[in-house]
Structure 1
């Protein structure tokens, strides 16, 4: 079976769209980066290095230092498909990220997006 086209796309070609989507709703690049770091375990420097190298999605997720175990709690529909029902592991990781960015653009609080308790 042929690889899905998005797997070979560079992450850096999609990243500006994440930023634009967030900024249209008065959210920030920093919040987008925080979501990506939370999901993948990359540091900010590592994230920026992947953007600079134009790493493809397959490599970006394969080299992620520590995929967040709480990502399996991400639920909902993205592109008409429930993320929790996606069987292809890499596609599910990509859609998890898409779903988190969507939640940000919808105005959700970061602690809800990142599935963490609100500070006391």
Structure 2
């Protein structure tokens, strides 16, 4: 069990490291729409094909993309599995954040209710003093 967690953590580390770079995130965004060649991926960037290839290797090592071989070009394809793993990992923390926000919301409602009661009591007191 410990070995599985270590492997999972290492895989998450690879995925997060790959996602840390804005160029790689833009590449992944492009691949959402289908397979794309290295040359097509390089077009929007002011960098060489070898530089794009290095980014693709990082994404491939993290399992975020796969690269095929079709004739003379190597299309890249988005692999969503690692992104699902990241989303699932983050979801555990989302539940914690939601629970904390729910407690904060409850506390704020209590404060608002106390303030409302305080205002009503002050008005009642002012009214009774004015009557006497």
Fold conserved between structures, TM > 0.5: no
Q: Which has the higher helix share?
A: 2
Structure-2-length-normalised TM-score: 0.27
Highest Rg: 1 or 2?
Answer: 2
